[in-house]
Structures are given as C-alpha cells and as structure tokens.
Structure 1
Amino acid sequence: MLDKFSLLIADYSLLVLWGALLFHLLLPIPAHAHPMTIWRKFAELLSTKVNTARSYQQRLISGSLAWALMITPTIIVYIAALPLIWNLPLFNLGLLLISLEWRGVEKLCKNTIQAINQEDKKEAKTILMPWLNRDVEPLSLLGLGKASAETMVLGYARTVIGVLFWYGIAGGIGAFIYRLSLELARAWSPSRDTFRPFGIPALTIQTILDFIPLKIFSLLCLLGKHFQIALHALKQQKKSWSNKNNAWLLIIIGKKFELSMGGPVIYQGKKISRPKLGGKIAPSAIHLAQIHRFLSWRIAIWLILQSTLMVIIKHGL
C-alpha cells in the first residue's frame, strides 16, 4: 500500500489534477485578466486582418491558416521550452489552472438563476452576453431561460469535462491546447455571417476534439432516473441536429427534466431555425437550479472515475 502511494506521489499527475482544481475553486482568475480572454481578443483582432478574402474558398483557406498560426507556435514553444522547465509538474498545474473554467460557469449559473428568478431581463442579458454569440437583446424571459440552460450544459461539458479529459490524455499541454482551440471556435463561430466560412475549420477541429469527452459525459448523464425515456428521445431527435456532440447532451438533459432545448436563434439580426430538442417545458429559475445540481454531481462522478482510471493505467491494480 505504501509503495503504491509513493508511486502516486512520484508520478504527480493526479496531484496536479486535484491541485489545479483546488487552486481554481479557491483562487479563481478574474475574467478580465484571464489569459483566455486576452487570447480570444487577439483571435478577434487577427480575424479583422485576415478574414477579408471575397471568395468562399479563399476565406476557408484563410480560416485554416489562421487556426494554424494561432495554435502551432504554442506547441513549438512548449516543445522548445521543455528542457528549460525546472519543475514540470508545477508547469502542468499552471497550464491546467489556466484551461479550467469551472468557477466561471458556476458563477454564470448562480447569477442567471438569480436574475431570472427576479424576472430581471436586463441583468440576465448582461450576464449571458459574454458567453453567447447569438443576439441576446431580443430574448424574452423564457428565451433567456432556454439560453441559460444550454450555456450551462455546454459550458460545463467543454470548459470542465473537455479540459479534464484532454489533461488525462496529454497532460497540461493537452488541456491547454484544447482550451485554446475552444476559444478560437467561439471567437470565429460560423453561426455568424461574418465568420462563414472563415470559422468552419476551427469549428470542425473543435468538434473532433469534443467528440469523445462529450459523448462519454452524455452517457454518464444518461444513466440514472428516466434512462429509458431519455434514451428513446436521443434515438429520435439526434438526427435533426448538425452538431451531434451538443445534441446528445441537450437531448438527454432536456428530456431528463422535460425541458425544451434548441429552437430558433438570432445571429446578427438574422433568424436561424434550429430543431427543438428535449421536452416541452420552458426552463425557469428552478429548472436551472436542478440542472446545475445534476451537472455538479455528474462532474464529481467524472472526477472520481478519471482519478481512479489514471492510477490504474499508470500503476496497475
């Protein structure tokens, strides 16, 4: 037993994981000073310089080159810096700490629940605006509830589950590159005419990176109460949604609580039709609180499973 504990400490990967979580929850980085906020602003600035081609093909190529220009140097610098890093576990802890956004999504959940519960549409829109690419101003109170539910689900799935998954696969740099790619996909979202087709390469790459973690997390959310009902809805509705990663989660959680997900959205003043997913009840503050509690427990289970799996893979039973 002591030998295995010594191996665990010597390996550091699990200690880095829990250390980063502890630091992140106790001492979160302010949003305005977060490196990912700066990264996203730089991505938006770069797009104004290179997203100027007229033809569809040229803009697609520009988007691919822009993604490579943002990500490739990061990987090169990391590889070059490896021999100079005096404490690799501490460095990995820093990368994972920057990549996580658990506290940010939790704050979003609590603030939107409070605003919607008080029927304060202006405050709810102000809270949601930094998280959404769609137009927030036209949303009614019911629309704000639905947007909050979707943002909550996908926010936790990507900035917590996706980051943790890629940390387990490739260490701190894996989590860091995943989060950088996620921010590029958000900044250059082709849902907006301005970034279509420029943002398609970034979105495609992010969809690939999300495929395994979001599918596994969807299955974890599927287990438990209303399993058969949610599974039946998943089989029926998943074909209607283009992004299957998002669809699985939204359908399962929507059907678990009989909440309506999806539906029409407005980007840059243009209404875009989306299929309706999940149930039929428009999410209210109490439903948002239920989703938040449900996701928090599922993330806790994920952490236990990932920690156990990391120990088994590295040191055996």
Structure 2
Amino acid sequence: MLEKFSLLIADYSLLVLWGALLFHLLLPIPVHAHPMTIWRKFAELLANKVNNTRSYQQRFLSGSLAWALMVIPAFIVCIAAQPIVWNLPLFNLGLLLISLEWRGVEKLCKDTIQSINQNNKEEAKAALQPWVNRDVEPLSLLGLGKASAETIILGYARTVIGVLFWYAIAGGIGAFIYRLSLELARAWSPSRDSFRPFGIPALTIQAFLDFIPLKLFSLLCLVGKHLQNTLHTLNLQRKSWANTNNAWLLIIIGKKFELSLGGPVIYQGKKISRPKLGGKIAPSALHLAQIHRFLSWRIAIWLILQSTLMVIIKQGL
C-alpha cells in the first residue's frame, strides 16, 4: 500500500491538479495580465487581417488556416519545452493554472447577482459584456438574468470542467491547448455575421473537444431531484438546439430550477431566434445564486471522482 502511494506521489499528477486549484483560488491572475487576454487580442488582430475576403469558401479556409496557425505552433512549443524545463511538474502546474478560470466565473456570478439585486442594469451589463458576444445594451433586467445564467453555466462547464477533463487526459498541455481552442471559438464565434463562416472551423473543433466533458457533466447535474421530469424535458428539447453540448446542460439546469433559458438574442444589431429551453421562470438574482451553489457542489463531486479515478488508474498501471 505504501509503495503504491509513493508511486502515486512520484507521478505528481494529483499534486499538480490540487496545487493549481489552490493557487488559482487563493491568488487568481488579474484579467488584464492574464495570458488568455493577450491570446484573444492576438486572435482578433489576426482575424482583422485575414477575414476580409468575400468568397464563402475562402473565408472558411482562412478560418481553418488561422486556427492551425494559432494552435499548432503553441502545441509544438509545449511539446518541445518538456525535455528542457527544469521541473516538469511545475511546468504542468503553470499550464493548468493558466487554463483554469474558476474565480473569473465566480466573480461574474457575484457581480451580476449584486447588480441585478440593486436594479443596476449598467453594472450588470458591464460585468457580463466581456464574457459574451451578444449585444447586452438592449437587455432588460430579466434579459440580463437569463444571459447571466447561461454564461455562468457554460463558463463553469468549459473553463473548469473542460479544462480538468483534458488535464486528466493529456496533462497540462492538454488543458492548455483546450483553453486556447476555447478562446479562439469565442473570439471568432460565427454567431456574428462578420465571423461567418470564418469562425465555423474553430467552433466545430471546440464542439468536438467539449463533447465528452460537457456530456459527462450534464449527466452529473442530471442526477438528483426531479430526475424523471428533467430527463423527459431533455428528450423533448435537446433536438431543437444546434449545439447539443450546450443544450444538454442548459436544459437540465433550466428544468431543475424551472428557469426559462434560450430564446432570441441579438448579435451585431441582428435578432436571432433560438428555441426556449428549461422551464418557464425568468432567472433572477436569487436563481443565479442557486445555480452557483448547485454547480459549485457538482464541481466538487467531479473533482473527487476525477481524483479517485486518477488514483485507481495510476495504481493499476
């Protein structure tokens, strides 16, 4: 038993996981100094240079090549750096730390709850704007509650669960590349006319990377109260939403709390129809707090399960 425990410690994977979480929660990286902020800025600059042709095929090809130009060199640098870094566990810890965004989503949740409670639309819009591509200016307090609920749900699912999943699969490099791809999908989202079809390759790749972690997290969220009703609603509504990764999670959490999610959104002044998901109650500040509490517990359960599986796999090997 002691020998197996020493082998597990020597592998450092669990120590890196919990060390990165501890550092991230106690000493979060400021947004203005975060490497992902710089990455997004560079992605926007690149898109401004190459997303300027009129042909659909050329813009699609430009988007594919731009994604490859951004991600493949980063992946090669990470692989090449592994043999020469002086401490490999610290290298993986740094990559995982950069990839996580737990505190950022938590701050968004607290800021929007406070602003909506005080009926302060301007502060709620300012808190939400960096996280979404939709136009927030036309949103009412009810619209801000719905947009905040969707953003918090998907933010936790991707920047915490997705990152942790790919860390378990491919270490710090896996988590890092996943987060880089996620930021490109957000920066070049084809939900805006100016990035269609340029952003379709990035979105398609991200949908592939999200498929397993978001589905597993959706199933974890499904377990518990109102399971049968939630499962029934999921079967009815999931086919109406284009991105099934998002749909499962939004439907399950929306139905758990009887919240109305989805519906029309505005991108670059253009109204786009989306099906309604979940229940019938418009999310308020109270509901945002309930969602935050619910997801925090589910993330804690995910961490315990992932850590246990990592121990079992390492002992088996």
- TM-score tier (shorter): over 0.9
Aligned residue type for 1:312: I
- What's the CA shift string for 1:277-311, capped at 9, x where partnerless? 00000000001100000000000000000000001
How far residue 86 of structure 1 moved from its aligned partner, in angstroms, is 1.4
Partner of 1:230: 230
Partner of 2:282: 282
Partner of 2:61: 61
Query: When the two structures are superposed, what TM-score results if normalisation uses the length of structure 1?
Result: 0.99
Distance 1:119 1:15 in 2: 43
Aligned residue type for 2:246: N
- For the residue of structure 1 that corresponds to 2:271, the secondary structure is strand
Query: When the two structures are superposed, what TM-score results if normalisation uses the length of structure 2?
Result: 0.99
Distance 2:81 2:286 in 1: 49
Distance 2:314 2:308 in 1: 10
**Residue 177 (1) aligns with residue 168 (2):** no
Partner of 1:75: 75
Partner of 1:250: 250
Aligned residue type for 2:137: E
Distance 2:270 2:111 in 1: 28
Root-mean-square deviation (CA, aligned residues, Å) is 0.8
Partner of 2:292: 292
Partner of 2:240: 240
How far residue 5 of structure 1 moved from its aligned partner, in angstroms, is 2.0
Distance 2:145 2:82 in 1: 46
Partner of 1:215: 215
Partner of 2:44: 44
Distance 1:77 1:25 in 2: 27
- What's the CA shift string for 1:218-259, capped at 9, x where partnerless? 000000001011100000000000000000000000000000
Residue-pair matches, total: 317
User: Where does the alignment leave 5 or more consecutive residues of structure 2 unmatched?
Assistant: none
- For the residue of structure 2 that corresponds to 1:206, the secondary structure is helix
Partner of 1:146: 146
Distance 1:55 1:114 in 2: 46
Distance 2:135 2:164 in 1: 30
Partner of 1:314: 314
How far residue 3 of structure 1 moved from its aligned partner, in angstroms, is 1.8
Distance 2:255 2:13 in 1: 37
Worse overlay, 3-12 or 259-268: 3-12
How far residue 82 of structure 1 moved from its aligned partner, in angstroms, is 1.9
Partner of 1:20: 20
Aligned residue type for 2:11: D
- What's the CA shift string for 1:78-116, capped at 9, x where partnerless? 222222111111100000000000000000001101111
**Runs of at least 4 residues off by over 2 Å:** none
- For the residue of structure 2 that corresponds to 1:261, the secondary structure is strand
Distance 1:80 1:20 in 2: 22
- What's the CA shift string for 1:156-181, capped at 9, x where partnerless? 00000000000000000000000000
Partner of 1:32: 32
Distance 1:4 1:303 in 2: 21
User: Where does the alignment leave 5 or more consecutive residues of structure 1 unmatched?
Assistant: none
- For the residue of structure 1 that corresponds to 2:86, the secondary structure is coil
Partner of 2:100: 100
How far residue 8 of structure 1 moved from its aligned partner, in angstroms, is 1.6
- For the residue of structure 2 that corresponds to 1:83, the secondary structure is coil
Aligned residue type for 1:306: Q
Partner of 1:112: 112
